[in-house]
A and B are shown apart, each in its own frame.
Chain A
């Protein structure tokens, strides 16, 4: 079992729809959770962080965390073609100052 698992996609949504990206992790002691966006040929860019159970909203992005289920998700409202990218879920282990990344989910927003 991988430490951080994501559906590779691609996830295709029409412009203006809500895109829902999911991630599960295996280390129950993990404390910090991140979503990175990576455009083709570019490096990952941090877009959201979440630490507590529940929802965290930032503009069109909402991160959701459920530690009991070891599940993190990212919702993108009013999806735009410019949101088309790979979304990487990253988790900080219980011990150690480093992030473990999932393989990413490819999102395609069709206009």
Chain B
């Protein structure tokens, strides 16, 4: 079984440029999470999807961040325009519907974003 697949692995962009990250969850996992992990910190939730519905986006900086999961499978997280402070690792995770908080979830390999 393939795990959570993310791309790209690394991205370097200049500030004010747009950037997008892609995630394909484990097959059959209805719940998808985007987390951001700053250096020396734990992951922080940006947005959670149940199928195609964003059910928790309270921590997503909506002025510059957007996300979509149109068909309830893969998802894209976008930043426009990027700022220096957005440099971090962006992690995607998935779980069976309603089970992430009970059984934990599986992370993808992450995208390391560097804004210069």
- Name A residues whose Cβ lies closer than 8 Å to a Cβ of B: 4, 8, 31-32, 34, 36, 42-46, 49, 88, 90, 92-93, 96-104
Q: Which residues of B contact A43 (CB under 8 A)?
A: 89, 91, 107-110
Assess the A101–B100 pair: CB atoms within 8 A: no
Known interface pairs A43-B109, A46-B106. Does A92 touch B101 (Cβ–Cβ under 8 Å)?
yes
- Chain B residues 85-116 with CB under 8 Å of chain A are 89, 91, 95, 98-110
How many CB-defined contacts (below 8 Å) exist between A and B? 65
Question: Which residue of chain A has its CB nearest to the CB of B40?
Answer: A103
Assess the A101–B44 pair: CB atoms within 8 A: yes
- Sample of 26 A–B contacts (CB below 8 Å): A4-B42, A31-B101, A32-B102, A32-B103, A34-B104, A36-B104, A42-B109, A43-B109, A44-B91, A46-B105, A49-B103, A90-B42, A93-B101, A97-B48, A97-B98, A97-B100, A97-B101, A98-B48, A100-B45, A101-B43, A101-B44, A102-B42, A103-B40, A103-B42, A104-B40, A104-B42
Q: How far is the CB of B9 from chain A (nearest CB, A)?
A: 10
Count of B interface residues, CB-CB < 8 Å: 27
Q: Interface digits, B54-79 against A, CB 8 Å rule (1 contact, 0 not)?
A: 00100000000000000000000000
Question: Which residue of chain A has its CB nearest to the CB of B99?
Answer: A97
Q: How far is the CB of A89 from chain B (nearest CB, A)?
A: 8
Give the docked Cα–Cα distance between A32 and B101 (Å): 7
Q: Which residues of A contact B45 (CB under 8 A)?
A: 98-100
Question: Which residue of chain B has its CB nearest to the CB of A42?
Answer: B109
Assess the A44–B101 pair: CB atoms within 8 A: no
Q: How far is the CB of A72 from chain B (nearest CB, A)?
A: 13
Q: Which residues of B contact A93 (CB under 8 A)?
A: 101
